[in-house]
């Protein structure tokens, strides 16, 4: 009986010992890293040394896309903001297609990889004004003025924050005429 019990115990130990195999695939060591390394295939953005030249280049690229009537570009550091002029009668999906085509043209260009494309008429006109200010030699004040105008349009005006006008001292308030319509 003792032989039978001993052989059963040895068999159980062998069976449990075979189940605990070292698993090298769960935590690889840095020395045995045989993975393939791949180079980046997307174009890298070029450093912009002449913003006016890059702006003119991106504007000409945008104007080559069918459906773009004009383009205005402002370059700030390594980012360009490009406003495109499209026909006002186009529906939203067609305008989106044109914006995508411009972005696709920029993606293939090393200067345009970090560009932002907008088809909003108001922003496009503001970009034109900023570009004119930059050409006049006042880049920071031009950008600051346009940004304040944009923020002024975005921030809502709540009726409860409206203060009624106070008459100036020394002037008589003219009687209000109520007309029944």
Taking the chain (181 residues) in consecutive chunks of 10 residues, what is each chunk's mean pLDDT?
Answer: 67 63 55 62 67 88 92 84 88 90 87 83 81 84 79 68 72 60 52
The predicted pLDDT at position 38 comes to: 61
Domain 51-161 bears CATH identifier 3.30.70: yes
The predicted pLDDT at position 75 comes to: 84
The predicted pLDDT at position 1 comes to: 61
DSSP letter assigned to residue 31: G
The predicted pLDDT at position 176 comes to: 59
> Which residue is it, tokens 């000409």?
60
For 35-66, give one letter per residue: b (16+ CB within 10 A) or e.
Answer: eeeeeeeeeeeeebeebeebbebbbebbeebe
Token pair belonging to 143: 């950008």
The predicted pLDDT at position 28 comes to: 54
Which residue ranges make up each domain of the chain? 51-161
Alpha helices in the chain (DSSP H): 2-18, 51-63, 92-107, 121-135, 139-154
Characterize the bridge pairing of strands 116-118 and 70-76.
unpaired
The predicted pLDDT at position 67 comes to: 93
Q: From CA 128, how far away is CA 130, in angstroms rounded?
A: 5
The predicted pLDDT at position 145 comes to: 84
């Amino acid at each position: 009986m003792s032989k039978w019990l001993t052989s059963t115990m040895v068999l159980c130990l062998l069976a449990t010992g075979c189940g605990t195999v070292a698993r090298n695939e769960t935590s690889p060591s840095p020395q045995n890293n045989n993975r393939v390394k791949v180079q980046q295939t997307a174009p890298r953005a070029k450093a912009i040394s002449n913003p006016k030249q890059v702006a003119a280049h991106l504007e000409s690229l945008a104007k080559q896309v069918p459906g773009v009537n004009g383009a205005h570009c402002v370059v700030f550091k390594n980012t360009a903001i490009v406003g495109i002029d499209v026909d006002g009668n186009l529906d939203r999906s067609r305008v989106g297609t044109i914006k995508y085509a411009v972005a696709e043209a920029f993606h293939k260009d090393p200067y345009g990889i970090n560009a932002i494309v907008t088809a909003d008429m108001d922003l496009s006109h503001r970009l034109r004004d900023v570009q004119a200010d930059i050409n006049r030699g006042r880049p920071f004040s031009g950008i600051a003025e346009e940004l304040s105008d944009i923020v002024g349009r975005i921030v809502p005006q709540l009726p409860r924050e409206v203060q009624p006008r106070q008459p100036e001292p020394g002037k008589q308030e003219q009687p209000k005429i109520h007309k029944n319509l």
